[in-house]
Amino acid sequence: MDRYIAPVELAKAYRLINHGPTVLVSAYHDGVEDVMAAAWCCGLDFAPPKLTVVLDKATKTRELLEHDGYFVIQVPTAAQLALTNQVGSISLHDVPNKLARCGVELFHLEGVPVPLVAECSAWLWCKLISEPHNQQTYDLFIGEIVGAWADSRVFSGGHWQFEHIDPQWRSLHHVAGGHFYAIGEALDTNEKTAE
């Protein structure tokens, strides 16, 4: 395991996606692995932590995770802009060597059967909560986060460190077509909050 990859306690796992980044979804079933991009991924609950992700019926990744019942949501970095755009544009149904063509390198963590995408900033291992009506009607999938990790150079002490390190680590926020924004400046209030 990469020496920078550190576990994140499940109570703080929501912080890895709370700021609304575009994510990569990886899944595996019966010898086939795939990775896709998803702009529509969102927190759903704190404890146990859950998230939602929208997966089009045309994607192979969706088919794999529906069979396997597990998937990984990962947060790509600005350095992975081209990769993120490509895995969101090409389907494994059409391009059998999609992952190699997009420059995706996969790795494994002990005890996690789903492959993870290397060089991302954070990884959320999710167990699919089966909701057939949502999946069929809305392409909406719910996952319980059962494991979380982050690169300790960009997320440590329970907080993103974007403002302290190379901008190549910043998360990507998709608008449309090939157009994204990176996350920007930190803004803090001194107000007491309910959270």
When asked if residue 7 is in the footprint of a second copy (CB under 8 A), the reply is: no
Min dist. Cβ of residue 98 to a second copy (A): 13
Instruction: Say how far apart CA 53 and CA 20 lie, in whole Å.
Output: 12
**Nearest alpha carbon to residue 36 among 174, 181, 162:** 174
Asked whether 98 and 90 are in contact (CB, 8 A), the reply is yes
Among 35, 78, 104, 126, binds a second copy (CB under 8 A): 78
Give least dist CB 9 to a second copy, A: 13
29/174 with CB nearer a second copy: 174
The span from the CA of 1 to the CA of 123, in Å, is 13
Binding status of residue 123 toward a second copy by CB under 8 A: no
Site membership for a second copy, residue 170 (CB under 8 A): yes
Query: Contact between 88 and a second copy (CB under 8 A)?
Result: yes
Identity of residue 79: A
144 binds a second copy (CB under 8 A): no
How far apart are the two ends of the chain, measured CA to CA in Å?
Answer: 33
10 Å CB burial of residue 73 (0-12, 13-18, 19+) is: buried
Q: Which stretch binds a second copy (CB under 8 A): 62-70, 109-117, 119-127, 180-188?
A: 180-188
77 binds a second copy (CB under 8 A): no
> Does 108 participate in binding a second copy (rule CB under 8 A)?
no
The residue (of 61 and 109) whose beta carbon lies closer to a second copy is 61
Q: CB-based contacts of 145: which residues, under 8 Å, 6+ apart?
A: 10, 13, 14, 48, 49, 50, 51, 124, 125, 126
The CB-of-178 to a second copy minimum distance in angstroms stands at 4
Q: What's the number of CA atoms in the CB half-sphere (13 Å) around residue 158?
A: 4
Q: What is the C-alpha R_g of the chain?
A: 16
**Site for a second copy (CB under 8 A): how many residues?**
61
Enumerate binding residues for a second copy (CB under 8 A).
12, 15, 18-22, 39-45, 50, 52, 54, 78, 81-82, 85-86, 88-90, 133-134, 138-140, 142, 158-160, 162, 167, 170, 172-195
